[in-house]
Amino acid sequence: MRLDWLEDILAVLDTGSFARAAMARNLTQSAFTRRIRSIEDGIGAALFDRSCKPVQLLPDVRAREAEMRRMAADLRALRDGLRQSASGAGRIVSLACQHAITTTVSPRLVHLLAQDRSVRVRSGNRDDCLGQLVTGEVDLAVIYDSPLGPPRPDSRVFTELSIGTEPLVAVCAPALAARDPDAPLAIIAYPGDVFLGQVVERAVLSRLPPGTEITRKAETALTLAALQYALDGIGIAWLPHGVAAEALSQGRLVRVPLGGADHMLDLRMIRLAEPIRPATLDCWDLLRAALVPK
């Protein structure tokens, strides 16, 4: 499948007609119509229902819109990367960050790296980030770590570097702060098979006073969703401080005193031990120099 084919098909989907798609693609309508015919001939199947006015993508083709958009984006990225590599105009580094880190920490990393290279940032859960590192889809991964979370990456495979710490804080909407101490503790939970789910269970919930009753009002693997649920007054959420900082400063969330110190999360940058691209090692050294105290 060619990129220009995908872009022509998506132009029709986005604009709603051949005429508007032709304008978007800087072609006459007759030339664009010929191109669509050529695409269908090349694929060997009709893509559009021409009995409709305006012409519409066939339902089975429309159902694959997400796949076509994803493929078009991947092909553009590949084209741009090859073009940059061939011209020497720049370098590309890819980061995989846990969802919360993508929001709070990655802007600084991108600022440091983007001086003389392009930076791609992918967001995922902890296991996804490490998986992308192993398969070579990304150069570096940035994740949270904790001795109370899942086991650390195999040191024989990865090289790790601590680039900071961040407290995990319990927060809720102000209206929930003055709760009846005898009432169940309404919480927003994380699934037990994700990193923060295990940390909250071991570091917080298992250490609550005996007899504390808990009501799990909602469960999500996404910290940004947990943040919104807390803002909506659904329950107490445990969030990396950077995720909650703005809402706390604005008074839209308040800290919940549950006893004991905040649990500290270790922010770790990880790469493959070897082999490693020189460009990846350059980025690693740059970030280490900027982020790790001397």
Q: Spell out the residues 6+ positions from residue 163 whose beta carbon is closer than 8 angstroms to its own.
A: 142, 267, 268, 269, 287, 288, 291, 292
Q: At what angle do helices 241-249 and 223-231 cross, to 10 degrees?
A: 30
Per-residue b or e along 105-126, where b marks 16 or more CB atoms closer than 10 Å to that residue's CB: bbeebbeebeeeebbebbbbbb
Q: What is the pLDDT of residue 157?
A: 80
Q: Which CATH architecture has domain 93-294?
A: 3-Layer(aba) Sandwich (3.40)
Each domain of the chain, given as residue ranges in start order, spans 3-81, 93-294
Q: What is the pLDDT of residue 153?
A: 59
- Give me the CATH code for the 3-81 domain, please: 1.10.10.10
Q: What is the pLDDT of residue 89?
A: 43
Regions of the chain where pLDDT drops below 70? 80-91, 152-155, 179, 275, 294
Q: What is the pLDDT of residue 200?
A: 93
Q: What is the pLDDT of residue 128?
A: 86
Tell me the backbone φ, ψ of residue 97, rounded to 5 degrees.
-125, 145
Number of other residues whose CB lies within 10 A of the CB of residue 26? 8
Tokens of 138: 């990304």
Q: What is the pLDDT of residue 155?
A: 64
pTM score:
0.67
